[in-house]
Chain A
Amino acid sequence: MRHQLVALFFVFFVSAGLLISTVTVGQVSSTTEAAYMPPRTPEGQPDLQGIWSNAVLTPLERPDQFADQAFLTEEEAVAYEAQRNDETFRGTRDLDAATDVAYAYNDFWWDQGSTIASTRRTSLVIDPPDGRIPPLTAEGEKRRNARDEYRRLHPADGPEDRLLRERCIVWSGGGDLGAGPPMLPSAYNNNFQLVQTADHILILKEMIHETRVIPLDGRPHLPGSVRQWLGNSRGHWEGDTLVVETRNFTHKTHFQSTSEHMRLTERFTRLADDVLMYEFTVEDPVMLTRPWTAQIPTMKLDGLIYEYACHEANRGMVGLLGGARAEERAAREAANE
C-alpha cells in the first residue's frame, strides 16, 4: 500500500505540477536592518512588491539537539545547514536505481532551498521562547483525536477524506497541518508574489495559485457567518510593516491543529532589497493554550511565477480512490477464498 501510494503521489505530482518555476535565491545583503529604508511606491508606501521565496531548511519547531539554544553560532550554522541538506532526499541519488525510484523524489523534484534561515535561528517558531508550538487545550486534544480517529477509519472513502493538497483546495507542507494561510514552505514552488496598490495588496502563492486580494482601507471583517478556505484578510500599515489580520476560517482547515476560531496576524517588513521578513502569530483560544509566533526571512527571487494548475490535472485523486477500492475488492476476494 505504501509503495502504491507513493507511486500514485508521483503520478499526481508529475501531472499536477505543470510548470515548476526555475528561480534563483538571492543572497542576504549585508545592509544593516536599522539603516535600511525600503523603496517607496508612488503612493509613498514601503514597496514590498516582488516575488519572494520562503524555501528554508530551518524546521518549524526547534529540534531536540538545540534544546535551550535559540540561535546558532556561525560555525554551528554551517554544520547544521550541511546536516539539513543531508536529511532531505539528496542522498537517494547514491542509492541503486530501484531504491531511488521507490523513494520517488530526489532533488530533481524538491525545491526546498539549500540554506537555513539567515537569522541563524534554530526554529521558525520564535515564541514561545522554547521554539515549540504550545500544547493544545483539553478541548483541542479532544477535537484532534476525533479527527485522527475519523481519518484512521476512513482513509479514502471519498475525496473529502483525503488531504486538502491532494484535493487541490489548499496546499500545505506537512499534510493538512500545514494548510494555511499562513504561508509555510512545502516541497517545492515556495514562491509568493506581492502586488501593491494604494488601497489593496495581492498575495499570490505559486502553489495552486492561492490568491488573496486584501483591502487596506480599514473596513471591518466579513460577518462571522461567512467562512472561507483562505479566511478573510484585512491589512494595514504599522510604520513600514504591512500587517494582515485574517479570520473567518472554515472548520475544514486545521493549520497546526487550530480550528475555525483561528485568528492569524501576518507581518511583512522589508529588511533589505532582497530580504522580506515574514512573521506570523497564530491565536486560537479553543485549541491552543497560548498564541505562538514564527518568523521566516524570505528572499527576493530573480524569476517569474508560473501557473500551477493543480485541480485541472488531478489524476492523483482518481488513482488514490480507485486504488483504495481495488484494495477493498482484493480483501473481499481473499476473505471469500
Chain B
Amino acid sequence: MRSRLRYFIVVLMATAFLSSCSELAPPADELSPSIPRTATGEPSLDGIWQALTEANWDVRPHAAGPALLPELGTFSAIRPGLGIVEGGEIPYQAWAAEKQQENFANRLELDPEGKCFLPGVPRATYMPYPLQILQTSQYVMVAYQFANAVRTIHMEDPGPSPSESWMGWSVGRWEGDTLVVDVSSHNDQTWFDRAGNFHSDALHVVERYTLMSPDHLLYEATIDDPNVFTESWNISLPLYRRVEENVELMEFKCVEFVEEKLYGHLRKDPSDDVEVNVVGVDPD
C-alpha cells in the first residue's frame, strides 16, 4: 500500500513537471525528424534510394512460388509480398485480364526486364536496384542502376513530348512538400512487374514523392489507361535511403548479360563457349 502511494506521488510530480515544461517544448511537428531542404526551401530528395518490396515479382498480393527454370532452385524464386496496389486488385478490362495471364505464362520470353530493356515508369522505382535523385531548380534527374536508365523530370515546362519513349515524358511541380510528376508519352512495351501486368501506350502516370523523414521517401502513383483498365488505380510504397557511408550507384549495364538470350541462335556455332569469343585479351 505504501509503495503504491509512493508510486502515485512520483507519477503526480512527474506529470506536474512535464506540464510545466510543455510551454518550453518545441511544437509537435518539429519533434519528428526534420527533413533536408534545398537552398530555396523545397524538400531535398537528393540521395540514393531503394524500394524494399517484392512488388517487382507482382504488384498485387502474392504467395511465394518457384523459379522459372527448375535448375535455378531458389535463385530467382518468386518472393511473397503484400503488393503495392491499393485494394490489392488491378481493375483490368476482361480481355486485358486474360492477356495478363498469357503474359505471366510466357514471362520468361516476354518480360522486358529479362531483355535488359529500359524498365519504364513506375516499374523502375520498385525494381530491386537502387536509384539516385539529383535535384536542381530546373530538373530533377533520376538515375536508375538497372540498364543505366535515366529520366529527366522537367521542373520548367519543356513543351509537348516529341514522341513516345520507354521512360516517358516527365514534368514535375511542387504541391506543398510533395513533388508531383506527370508522366506521359509511354510506349506500350514496358510491364509493371514480372507477373505480366501491363498497359498500353495510353498509360498516364501521376507520381507523388513525399519525404516522410530524412531517410524515408513515400512514393505514390495513380495509374490510368482507358485502353486496358476500367478505372484508374493507385500504388504506394516507401523508398528507403541507402545510408551506407560509401554507397554509390554502381554500374549495371546488362546488355552483355542478355546477348545470348537475344542473339544466341545466330551464333556461328551455337555450342561455342561465350568466353572464348570475347574480343580482347585479358592479360591478368
Contact = CB atoms under 8 A, between A and B. Distances in A.
Q: Do A and B bind each other?
A: yes
B136 A49 contact: yes
Given A157-B269, A309-B166, A311-B116, A195 B136 contact: yes
A195 B280 contact: no
A213 B118 contact: no
Interface in B232-284: 246, 248-251, 253, 255-256, 259, 262-264, 266-269, 272, 274, 277-284
B149 interface: yes
A195 B138 CA distance: 10
Contacts of A169: 253, 255-256
A171 to B, nearest CB: 12
A178 B255 CA distance: 19
Contact of B255 (A226, A251, A260, A311): A311
B158 A304 contact: yes
B272 A158 contact: yes
A308 B264 CA distance: 25
A307 B277 contact: no
Contact of B263 (A159, A197, A304, A309): A159
B227 to A, nearest CB: 21
Contacts of B46: 197, 199-200
B96 to A, nearest CB: 23
B240 to A, nearest CB: 18
A199 B47 CA distance: 10
Interface in B124-175: 132, 134-136, 138-139, 141, 143, 147-150, 152, 158, 162-163, 165-167
A90 interface: no
B281 A324 contact: no
Contacts of B141: 195, 202, 204
Given A42-B38, A305-B152, A158 B135 contact: no
Contacts of B248: 213, 215, 219, 222
Contacts of B148: 209-211
A317 interface: yes
Contacts of A254: 280
B117 interface: yes
A209 B149 CA distance: 7
Interface in A14-55: 18-19, 42-43, 49
Contacts of A222: 248, 250
Contacts of B147: 311
A143 B118 CA distance: 35
Contact of B256 (A146, A167, A215, A328): A167
A159 B284 CA distance: 23
A305 B152 CA distance: 9
Contact of B259 (A147, A150, A160, A193): A160
Contact of A213 (B134, B149, B280, B281): B134
Interface in A66-105: none
A298 B163 CA distance: 27
A307 B167 contact: yes
Among B117, B132, B246, B281, chain A packs the most CB atoms within 10 A around the CB of B281
Contacts of A311: 116-117, 147, 255
A320 B235 CA distance: 42
Interface string B63-97: 00000000000000000000000000000000000
Given A160-B279, A251-B282, A321 B266 contact: yes
B39 interface: yes
Size category of the B interface is 35 or more
B189 interface: yes
A161 B269 CA distance: 13
A155 to B, nearest CB: 10
A324 B132 CA distance: 41
A196 interface: yes
A146 B132 CA distance: 40
Given A158-B277, A197-B134, A307-B165, A211 B150 contact: yes
B40 interface: yes
A188 interface: no
A228 B248 CA distance: 13
Contacts of B267: 157-158, 321
Contacts of A304: 152, 158
Contacts of B251: 228-230
Contact of B150 (A49, A199, A209): A209
A213 B249 contact: yes
B279 to A, nearest CB: 6
A19 B165 contact: yes
Contacts of B246: 219
A146 B281 CA distance: 8
Contacts of A147: 279-281
A213 B132 contact: yes
B223 to A, nearest CB: 21
Among B40, B149, B189, B256, chain A packs the most CB atoms within 10 A around the CB of B256
B277 A161 contact: yes
13 contacts: A42-B38, A160-B274, A167-B256, A169-B253, A196-B136, A197-B134, A202-B134, A209-B149, A213-B143, A251-B280, A251-B281, A304-B152, A321-B263
Interface of B: 38-40, 46, 116-118, 132, 134-136, 138-139, 141, 143, 147-150, 152, 158, 162-163, 165-167, 189, 246, 248-251, 253, 255-256, 259, 262-264, 266-269, 272, 274, 277-284
Closest 4 CB pairs of A and B: A42-B39, A321-B266, A228-B251, A157-B268
